[in-house]
């Protein structure tokens, strides 16, 4: 499995927030009930989203969470990365300060890391899929009927 339920639940949570029309905050409890997910586990996940600046919170009674930006401006790579940590195909991949992806096996002596080409391509495919999908798309997808959905999937 590429991702755990952290990404699954967290994305569901984000979509649920994106569904709300008004600007008043939505309590985690209502999200948990709507999506049938454990409240106390969602608390951990939403904390990651908040620290990543994807949602804002208001405390106290009638408090809750709302999106920090319009759903159209939220790319899913940011959401998944906030929940799962850095999206790298392999342990040895890490972001260098300059933003490039490196492989720590690079200096292996006679021949360079033979897997780098493969993982670079995989990472490219994943980030392209994630960054090319906005939260607004998912919200719309979830609200419309089945026939429309089949077409949307291939429009990546």
Name the residues that contact DNA, by CB under 7 A: 4-6, 9, 25-29, 37-38, 40-41, 43-44, 46-47, 50, 57-65, 84, 91
Contacts for 102 with CB less than 8 Å, ≥ 6 apart = 93, 94, 95, 96
Least CB distance from residue 98 to DNA, whole Å?
25
Please work out, in degrees rounded to the nearest 5, the angle formed at the alpha carbon of residue 128 by the alpha carbons of 122 and 130. Answer: 105
Asked whether position 143 contacts its own copies by CB under 8 A, the answer is yes
Asked whether position 126 contacts its own copies by CB under 8 A, the answer is yes
- CA 36 to chain centroid, in Å, comes to 19
Least CB distance from residue 76 to its own copies, whole Å?
6
d(CA 126, CA 142): 22
92 vs 137 by CB, closer to DNA: 92
Piece in contact with its own copies (CB under 8 A), picked from 25-33, 42-50, 54-62, 89-97: 89-97
Say which residue the tokens 């195909």 belong to.
Answer: 89
User: What does 50 interact with, of DNA, its own copies, none (CB < 5 to 8 A by kind)?
Assistant: DNA
Token couple for 17: 């927030």
Residues forming contacts to its own copies in the complex (CB under 8 A) are 1-5, 7-8, 11-12, 15-16, 76, 87-92, 111-126, 128-130, 132-133, 137-139, 141-143, 146, 149, 152-153, 156
């Amino acid at each position: 499995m590429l991702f755990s339920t952290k990404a699954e639940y967290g994305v569901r949570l984000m979509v649920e927030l994106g569904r709300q029309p008004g600007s008043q905050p939505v309590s985690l409890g209502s999200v948990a009930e709507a999506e049938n997910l454990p409240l106390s586990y969602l608390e951990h996940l939403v904390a990651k989203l908040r620290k990543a600046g994807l949602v804002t919170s208001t405390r106290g009674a009638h408090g809750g969470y709302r999106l920090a930006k319009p759903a159209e401006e939220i790319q899913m790579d940011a959401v998944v990365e906030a929940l799962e940590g850095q999206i790298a195909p392999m342990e040895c991949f890490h972001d260098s300060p300059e933003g490039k992806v490196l492989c720590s096996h690079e200096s292996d002596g006679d021949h360079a890391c033979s897997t780098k080409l493969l993982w670079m391509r995989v990472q490219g495919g994943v980030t392209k899929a994630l960054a090319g999908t906005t939260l607004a798309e998912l919200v719309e997808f979830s609200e419309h009927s089945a026939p429309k959905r089949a077409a949307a999937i291939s429009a990546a």
